[in-house]
Amino acid sequence: MLVIFIAIIASALRLATPLIFAALGSVFTERSGVVNIALEGIMIMGAFFAILAMEFVSNPWIAVLVAMIVGAITALLLGFLAINLKANQVVAGTAINILAGSLTAFLLEMVWHRSGQTDTVANALTKNPETLAFLEKIPVLGSLFSGLTPFVYLAIIFSGVSYYVMYKTPFGLRIRAVGEHPRAADTVGVNVYRVRHICVLISGALAGLAGASLSLGTVNMFREGMVSGKGFIAIAAAIFGKWHPLGAFAACLFFGLTEAIQIQAASLGLGWIPSEFLQMLPYIATVLALAGLVGRAVAPAASGEPYEKGHR
Amino acid sequence: MKKKINYLLENVKYPLLAIALAFLIGSIFVILTDNSPIVAYSALLDGSLGNIPKFGETLLKTTPLIMTGLAVAFAFRSGLFNIGGEGQYLVGAISTVTAAWVLQDLPGFILIPIILLAGAFGGAIWGGVPGFLKAKLGVHEVIVSIMLNYIALFLTNFLVRVTLNPSTLQGTEQKAYSVMIPEHARLLKFNEFMPVFGYSSLHVGILIAIACAVGIWFLLFKTTIGYEIRSVGHNPYASEYGGISISKNIILSMMISGGLAGLGGAMTIAGLTFKVDQSSGLPGYGFTGIAVALVGKNHPLGVLASALLFGIMSNGSRKMQFEGIPKEVVGIIQGIIIIFIAGEAMLKFMTTRKKKEEKGEVA
């Protein structure tokens, strides 16, 4: 039983990892007042470009960096549309989602001359890093660590860093001010547009990283449809975690756990629960949280509202 | 009359510009594949409009897009963003199959309207939930709708895998799709009474969709209900001051919107697939519906035109694929169209600013 239990925890951590990166991205944008529906599309871009980069470089960390940069550039488009042009943020995000899905599929055909999936790449980051191999020697827990990838550790570190930035630095205070009351922030000299742009860029880089952790960190390749809604689950996790970095982290662990349980349902003696119900759980939990049934989630006041200087 | 034409031109100008620019940028991607854009786009047109059966297939692809496009456009008019077309479409589809199974002994002329209404009703419920939460608790409808899309997907998969599976209801082996709706519950196909449509599976759903567009236009612009819905969208507080209930109209508008998307799902079942398949992802009609509504300027009749454009792109892309051009070019063009339309505010902002500067109004 303990073996299964540890396997599930490891699996939950692995499944939660891409969600954690993207959910942290969602926390940053929403806190600054921009709704980033495009997380899904940016994750697709990150997942694809991480694998594409591996065609040219041998170091997977450079590929991860490429994915983050591509994510940030994609987010720049969202920022330009939503912040500068004051476009409807949901419309702009939807456009990027459609574009990302088609663009990656197009490039996949151009580079690999087929559709569906890329070749598998060597040197992927799907195993516990060698520098941390000593952790595997710990009795009982060792098997847990051997099931983790470098991305899992990164996700935990990034959650802590995000919390620190958001709540312990002047920049974090500015982010929250801009998301709650942009006019007041503007009055005291905070550059609303710049803070929002930085947050959108951060979320793009994080979502790109989320995509890389999905392709490079799990299956060594890119498959069309591999993101399939994970960007939206990340948005849900940010809400469920009440737009707090650590709350979002916990929500992602919870969502990862439901997915891990769903995969292991038979060996847990839970085969009688239809798998679809476990798949639904994160979404139902989020709706209930929004409706106030499990601790009301109230969005940052200016989230989704374009800011126009000099208007009342 | 001249005023009307000017008004029309003013509204059509930006979408047409966006479409033209998107195709121009799309041609760069075609050139990247060592093909000529002229070959690509003529294949696109020939594949979708080349002869009557091809045109029939284009209209077939247009039908659900009209419905989801209308759904998004209608909600927009009341100031709401219905991104939940995906879920409403799925719930509409599964409700139709359920109704057709339960009531299969009824004669066709009663059964067909009932199963279509069941689909619309299912969609209306699914759209009504975010409407209710928005009206009563102030929860943003976009987030709730996105969550409901996935809840609908998994709920549909469960019903198809277990409750409505032929293995459960008809004792066959396990299938990846639901039971088929009975023959007499299916919509009439065009080639049954107009042989020129040949192999095309176009069904009378397209006529129902066009009727819906006209009906929604009438409802929005010629009735009190439509006036109230539009005024809530325009300025909710002024409307409330004038005695119009905001929450009633939000719920009503989301239910009508969801009902339209649900009817879209219902017609696909009753006219084309006759069953619901298990699926790993969302069907995509709801998201494309957002693009359709935007290009159509959220006007029911504009939606008809823009749904046809997206139908042409979707059907013609297969012919492009035969010519060796990845069909994803079409998706790229669609994305770019939305980006340009989303950025339209900027274009407008720039042009009005220029005019004002010329008049010396901007200090």
Interval B157-213: pLDDT, tens: 999 999 999 998 988 889 899 999 999 999 999 998 989 998 999 999 999 999 999
Q: What ipTM does the predicted assembly reach?
A: 0.87
Say which range, B113-122, B208-217, B312-321, B342-351, has the weakest mean pLDDT: B342-351
pLDDT level of residue B302 (50, 70, 90 thresholds): very high
Provide φ and ψ at B203, rounded to 5°: -120, 175
**Residues of A whose CB is below 8 A from B282:** 229
Q: Is the minimum CB–CB distance between A126 and chain B shorter than 8 Å?
A: no
Q: What is the pLDDT of residue A294?
A: 58
Nearest CB among B133, B151, B280 relative to A283 is that of: B151
Summarised one tens digit per residue, pLDDT across range B73-131 is 999 998 899 999 999 999 999 999 999 999 999 998 999 999 999 999 999 999 999 99
Cβ separation A110–B133 shorter than 8 A? no
Higher pLDDT, B344 or B46: B46
Higher pLDDT, B138 or A171: A171
Burial classification of residue B38, based on how many CB atoms lie within 10 Å of its CB (0-12 exposed, 13-18 middle, 19 or more buried): exposed
**Residues of A whose CB is below 8 A from B147:** 236, 283-284, 286-287
Is the per-residue pLDDT at A295 higher than 90? no
Burial classification of residue A229, based on how many CB atoms lie within 10 Å of its CB (0-12 exposed, 13-18 middle, 19 or more buried): buried
Using CA atoms, how far apart are residues B117 and B140, in angstroms rounded to an integer?
Answer: 28
pLDDT level of residue A219 (50, 70, 90 thresholds): confident
Q: Is the minimum CB–CB distance between A238 and chain B shorter than 8 Å?
A: no
- Domains in chain B, CATH or no CATH each: 55-327 (1.10.3470)
Selection from B343, B119, B249, B207 nearest residue A78 by Cα: B343
- Report yes or no on A299 lying in a domain: no
Say which range, A86-95, A151-160, B262-271, has the weakest mean pLDDT: A86-95
Those residues whose C-beta lies under 8 Å from the C-beta of residue B326, and which sit 6 or more positions away, are A105, A106, A109, A110, A115, B33
Nearest CB among A91, A225, A274 relative to B158 is that of: A274
Query: Nearest-CA residue of chain B relative to A282?
Result: B147
Is the per-residue pLDDT at A206 higher than 60? yes
**Residues of B whose CB is below 8 A from A113:** none
β-strand partners of B203? B189
The CB-based long-range contact list for A61-68 (8 Å cut-off, 24+ gap) reads A63/A212, A63/A216, A64/A125, A64/A209, A64/A212, A64/A216, A67/A208, A67/A209, A67/A211, A67/A212, A67/A216, A68/A205, A68/A206, A68/A208, A68/A209, A68/A212
Residue type, A202: I
Residue type, A282: P
Query: Nearest-CA residue of chain A relative to B333?
Result: A99
- CA A58 → CA A61, A151, B155, B161, distances in Å? 9, 18, 43, 44
Residue B23 has, within 13 A of its CA and on its CB side, a CA count of: 16
- Report yes or no on A298 lying in a domain: no
Using CA atoms, how far apart are residues B72 and B109, in angstroms rounded to an integer?
Answer: 30
Q: How many residues does chain A have?
A: 312
Cβ(B30)–Cβ(B40) under 8 Å? yes
Q: What is the pLDDT of residue A120?
A: 85
In a mutational test of the B interface, the residue from A40, A115, A287 whose CB has the highest number of chain B CBs within 10 Å is A287
Q: How many CB atoms lie within 10 A of CB B90?
A: 31
Those residues whose C-beta lies under 8 Å from the C-beta of residue B198, and which sit 6 or more positions away, are B52, B53, B56, B191
Q: What is the pLDDT of residue B362?
A: 43
Per cent of chain B over pLDDT 70 is 94
pLDDT level of residue B137 (50, 70, 90 thresholds): confident
Q: How many CB atoms lie within 10 A of CB A255?
A: 27
Asked whether the CA dihedral B38, B40, B42, B45 is positive or negative, the reply is negative
Rg (CA), chain B: 22
Cβ separation A290–B338 shorter than 8 A? no
Cβ(A183)–Cβ(A82) under 8 Å? no
Say which range, A55-64, A138-147, B62-71, B283-292, has the weakest mean pLDDT: A138-147
Higher pLDDT, A152 or B5: A152
Residue type, A24: L
Q: What is the pLDDT of residue B352?
A: 58
Cβ separation A87–B154 shorter than 8 A? no
Residue type, A211: G
- Report yes or no on A304 lying in a domain: no
- Report yes or no on A122 lying in a domain: no
Both tokens of B241, joined, read: 């001051």
Is the per-residue pLDDT at A312 higher than 60? no
Is the per-residue pLDDT at A6 higher than 50? yes
- Report yes or no on A150 lying in a domain: yes
Using CA atoms, how far apart are residues A118 and A112, in angstroms rounded to an integer?
Answer: 6
Provide φ and ψ at B83, rounded to 5°: -95, 5
Cβ(A6)–Cβ(A255) under 8 Å? no
Is the per-residue pLDDT at B348 higher than 70? no
pLDDT level of residue B361 (50, 70, 90 thresholds): very low
Q: What is the pLDDT of residue B153?
A: 96
Mean pLDDT value of segment A218-222: 89
* A129 Ramachandran zone, left/alpha/beta (phi>0; psi -120 to 50): beta
Mean pLDDT value of segment B6-29: 87
Rounding to the nearest 10 degrees, give the CA dihedral for residues B9, B12, B17, B18.
160
Cβ separation A290–B281 shorter than 8 A? no
- Report yes or no on A129 lying in a domain: no
Both tokens of A225, joined, read: 């449809």
- Report yes or no on A256 lying in a domain: yes
CA angle (A81 as vertex; A108, A25 as ends), nearest 5: 70
**Residues of B whose CB is below 8 A from A86:** 345-346
Those residues whose C-beta lies under 8 Å from the C-beta of residue B115, and which sit 6 or more positions away, are B96, B99, B100, B103, B181, B185, B266, B269, B270
Selection from B183, B203, B181 nearest residue B193 by Cα: B203
**Residues of B whose CB is below 8 A from A99:** 331-332, 335-336, 339
Give the domain range for residue A179: 2-115+139-291
Using CA atoms, how far apart are residues B266 and B90, in angstroms rounded to an integer?
Answer: 9
Q: What is the pLDDT of residue B354?
A: 56
Using CA atoms, how far apart are residues B284 and B13, in angstroms rounded to an integer?
Answer: 27
Residue A219 has, within 13 A of its CA and on its CB side, a CA count of: 15
Max Cα-Cα span within chain A:
63
pLDDT level of residue A311 (50, 70, 90 thresholds): low
Q: Mean pLDDT, chain A, as a whole number?
A: 88
Selection from A244, A202, A209 nearest residue A230 by Cα: A209
β-strand partners of B277? B177
Cβ(B13)–Cβ(B7) under 8 Å? no
- Report yes or no on A56 lying in a domain: yes
Those residues whose C-beta lies under 8 Å from the C-beta of residue A16, and which sit 6 or more positions away, are A155, A252, A253, A255, A256, A257
Buried-state track A157-176, b at ≥16 Cβ within 10 A, e below 16? ebbeebbeebeeeeebebbb
Number of folded domains in chain A? 1
Higher pLDDT, A188 or B99: B99
Q: Say whether B341 sits in a helix, a strand or coil.
A: helix
Mean pLDDT value of segment A234-239: 90
Please tell me which of A172-176, A288-292, B318-322 the model is most confident about, judged by mean pLDDT.
A172-176
Cβ separation B328–A88 shorter than 8 A? no
Using CA atoms, how far apart are residues A76 and A83, in angstroms rounded to an integer?
Answer: 10
Provide φ and ψ at B69, rounded to 5°: -65, -45
Is the per-residue pLDDT at A33 higher than 60? yes
Q: What is the pLDDT of residue B347?
A: 61
β-strand partners of A117? A223
Helix axes B37-49, B52-77, angle to 10 degrees: 90
Smallest CA–CA distance, residue B117 to chain A, in Å, is 27
Cβ(B185)–Cβ(B270) under 8 Å? yes
CATH number (domain holding residue A186): 1.10.3470
Summarised one tens digit per residue, pLDDT across range B30-81 is 998 888 999 999 999 999 999 999 999 999 999 999 999 999 999 999 889 9
Is the per-residue pLDDT at B363 higher than 70? no
pTM, full prediction: 0.89
Q: Is the minimum CB–CB distance between A298 and chain B shorter than 8 Å?
A: no
Question: How does DSSP classify residue B271?
Answer: I
